[in-house]
Amino acid sequence: MRPFAQARSLEALNALARGRDVRTESGHAVSFVSAASNENYELRIDRTGEVATRADNAHDWFNALAWLAFPHTKARINAMHAAAIPGEGGRRGRLRDMLTIFDEGGALVVSSDARLIELVGAHRWKELFWDHRERVRAAMRFLVLGHAVLEQALQPRPGITCKAIFARADEDPDARAAAWLAARGPQTSPQELAPLPVLGYPGWMPGNDGPEFYEDARYFRPGGKIQGKAG
């Protein structure tokens, strides 16, 4: 077996999950299984800890890595889905829309620099990523947990945008995100998540080392402040 394929095997993922004691909020040890099921994906995880995972599928592989890297956040997302599904009558509500968007495309902005956070909220991307480039490198991190975004980053395209939650530099970002989600109610809107064009982070995207990159509207939408609260 090739080393990369071996690293992506279910056995390797499950060994890492056991070593980290990754669990659902319902108390089950998380395991990555290939077996399909007619049971709802989220309800199955909540009931058994089994996360349906296609070993050769990048989307599923990144989802498994997100469970390993952000276990409390992923467990909270699953618990909120499982709690909401029985009362939905087959129609996903606003809260689960937000959870799905964050699960697929979420990120954590980790910084205690109030000025940089203000620039994110105001969509002042060139000022943030170019004018304050070294300040961003020193005082701001983007932690991407959205497995769909991670898959897209294998072949980056203009306009890839995450939806973000903020954490201070002295906080555990996984615990912070889980706590933020736990405080959301049934009428929570996806607009409470901050848009974040992650390809602008200095050095992440080839070619973003010049000011003209941050003037490209395919990557960055100008605009006013975000709606709702992101932190």
Give the mean pLDDT of the chain: 91
Q: Which of 60, 154, 148, 143 is nearest to 104 (CA)?
A: 148
Length of the chain: 231
Residue 3, pLDDT score: 44
Is 57 in contact with 10 (CB distance < 8 Å)?
no
Residue 2, pLDDT score: 47
Residue 229, pLDDT score: 35
Residue 12, pLDDT score: 93
Token readout for 33 is 């299984």
Is 176 in contact with 182 (CB distance < 8 Å)?
no
| φ, ψ of residue 167 in degrees (nearest 5) | -135, 145
Token readout for 68 is 């390993």
Query: Dihedral of CA 162/165/168/174: which sign?
Result: negative
Is 1 in contact with 53 (CB distance < 8 Å)?
no
